[in-house]
Structure 1
Amino acid sequence: MVNISIIAEYMPRILSGAVLTLEIALLSLLLSVIIGLIGAIMRLSKNPVLAGVATAYSTIVRGVPDLIWMLMVYYSAQIGLNSLTEWLGLPTFEISPFLAGVFTLSFIFGAYFTETFRGAILAVPYGQIEAGYAYGFSSFSVLRRITFPLMMRYALPGVRNNWLVLTKATALVSIIGLDDMTRIAHQGGSATHLPFLFNMVSACLFLLITFVSLRIFAWLERHYQRGVRQEESYE
C-alpha cells in the first residue's frame, strides 16, 4: 500500500512526462516523414549529385548510434554556436533541449524513412504511373493520386516499425535535461529507492503507446489495402 501511495504521488508528473514524450514523438514523426519523402525522391533521382547526397546522408546517419547524434547536436552544436556568436559579436543563443531533441530524432529517423519510402516507391508497378501520364495527369497529380496511395501499401509496415522504434528512442531526450517520463520515472525511483517500480510504470506507459499505435496502424493498413485481396494475418 505504501508503494501505491508513492506512485500515486508521482503519477501526475509521470503522466505530464508521457504527454511530453508523445509530443516529441509525433512532431519528430511528422518531420522525419517529410525528410524521408524528400530523401527517397533524391535517392531515386537521375541526378548523380542529388542521389549521392541522399545516399551519403542515409548511410552515415544510420551507421552512427543515436546517442552520439543526440550528444553532438545538443552539446557540440551549442559550443559551435557560442563560438560563432562570440566571433560575430552577437548575443549568446541557447539551443532549446526540446528543439534539439525533436531535430535530432527527425534527422536520425529521416534516414530510415528515406529507405522505407525508396523501397515502397520502387515496388509500385510503373505501368500504373505510365497510365496516369497517358491520361494527361501532371507529375504532382500522379504523385498524389497514384504513386503515394500505392506506395503507402508497401511502406506502412516499415513506417509502423520506424514509429515504434522512434517512440522508444524518445527516452534519449532525458540525457539533455528534458523531463520526459523516462527521466521523471528515474528521478522518482532514485528519490524513493524504488527504481524497479518506477521503471515498470514507465515501461507500462510505453507498452500502452505501442498497443494504441498498433491498433491505429491496423486501421491504416485496412484503409490502404482496400480492393486488394489479402491473406489472413496472424500477427
Structure 2
Amino acid sequence: MSPYLALLQFGSTGWGDEIAWGVVVTVTLALSTLPFGVVFGLALALAKRGADPALRLSANIYTTIFRGLPELLTLFLVYYGGQNVINSVSAAFGGGPQELSSFVSGMVALGFVFSAYSSEVFLSAFKAIPVGQWEAGRAVGLSPRRIMGLVIFPQLIRISLPGLSNVWLNLLKDTALVSVIGLADILRQTGVAARVTREQFFFFGLACVLYLGLTLLSSIVIGRIETWTRRGEVVR
C-alpha cells in the first residue's frame, strides 16, 4: 500500500475519519448558514425597496458594514463579542459563565456576510422585473401579497440564481475561516494532520481537492436547479 494511502486509512492508524468528519462539518456549516442568509438577505432587499426611510437607511448601513469588513474580523467579533454578551446577560440573571460554540459563531458570522451580499443580488433581481408585472397583477384584482407570491417571487428566484450561486461558492470557501476558532472543519483537520505527520504538501493538497470537489458538486446542483427554473421559458 502507498504510504499516502496509509495516511488516509480510517481508525487509529490514519487520518481518514478525522478528515471525513471535517468534510461533514464544512458542509453542515455551509448548509446551516444558507437559509439564514437567503431569508435575511431577501428581507434586507425588501427593506431597501420599502417606503420607510429609516428602514432603508438601516438596511443600507447593515450591508455596508458586513460587505466592508473582512470575513475573519466579523468572525472574531461574533465569537468573542458574542461570548461577552452572553456572559453579561447570564451574570445579570445570576447564572454562571456560558460558552458560545464555534459552530454557532461561524454560522452567525457567515450568515451576516452572506445576507449582506445576497441582499444586493435580490435587489438587482427586483430591478430586473418590469414594473408592468405589478400593474398587471393589480389589474386582475390580486392583492400586493399575492402579486409578490404568485408573480414576482418565482421570477425573482430565477433571475437571482446566478448571483446567489456565486455568493454560495464564496460562502463555501469562507467556511475555512472557522478553523481559527477551533471548529474541526476540513482546513483544521488537514492542518492538524499536516503538523503531526509533517506531510504538509499532501494534506493541504488534499484540502484543495476536497474544496474543489465541493465546488464542482455545488455547480452541478445549481446548474440543474437553474435548468428546472427555466423549464417554462420559450426557446428562441
- Alpha-carbon separation, structure 1, partners of 2:146 and 2:211: 39
Pairing of 1:109-128 with structure 2 (within 5 A):
109-128=114-133
- Alpha-carbon separation, structure 2, partners of 1:147 and 1:100: 34
User: Greater shift after overlay, 194-203 or 59-68?
Assistant: 194-203
**Which of the numbers 105, 111, 132 marks the counterpart of 1:106?**
111
Pairing of 1:167-206 with structure 2 (within 5 A):
167-206=172-211
- Alpha-carbon separation, structure 1, partners of 2:51 and 2:130: 19
Q: Does 1:157 align with 2:158?
A: no
Q: Match of 1:136? A: 141
- Alpha-carbon separation, structure 1, partners of 2:149 and 2:211: 34
Q: Does 1:7 align with 2:8?
A: yes
Q: Match of 1:41? A: 46
User: Greater shift after overlay, 130-139 or 161-170?
Assistant: 130-139
Unaligned runs of 5+ in 1: none
Deviation at 1:91, TM superposition (A): 2.1
- Alpha-carbon separation, structure 2, partners of 1:199 and 1:229: 46
CA contact (8 A) 1:156 1:221 kept: yes
Q: Match of 2:55? A: 50
Paired residue type of 2:6: S
- Alpha-carbon separation, structure 1, partners of 2:141 and 2:227: 30
Question: 1:49-92, CA deviations, whole angstroms, 9 ceiling, x for partnerless residues?
Answer: 11000000001110000000101110122123323433443222
Q: Does 1:211 align with 2:216?
A: yes
Q: Percent identity?
A: 35
- Alpha-carbon separation, structure 2, partners of 1:107 and 1:177: 20
Give 3-state SS (helix, strand or coil) of 1:173's partner: helix
> TM-score when scaled to structure 1?
0.93
Pairing of 1:4-83 with structure 2 (within 5 A):
4-8=5-9, 9-83=14-88
- Alpha-carbon separation, structure 2, partners of 1:215 and 1:6: 30
- Alpha-carbon separation, structure 2, partners of 1:138 and 1:27: 33
Deviation at 1:230, TM superposition (A): 6.5
Runs of 4+ in 1 over 4 A off after TM superposition: none
| Distance change >3 Å, CA 230–CA 29, structure 1 → 2 | farther
> TM-score when scaled to structure 2?
0.93
Paired residue type of 2:39: I
Give 3-state SS (helix, strand or coil) of 1:136's partner: coil
Paired residue type of 1:189: A
Q: CA RMSD in A?
A: 1.5
Structure with the bigger RCO (C-alpha within 8 Å, sep 6+) is: 1
Q: Report the count of equivalent residues.
A: 231
Deviation at 1:212, TM superposition (A): 1.1
- Alpha-carbon separation, structure 2, partners of 1:228 and 1:125: 17
- Alpha-carbon separation, structure 1, partners of 2:142 and 2:35: 28
Q: Match of 1:89? A: 94
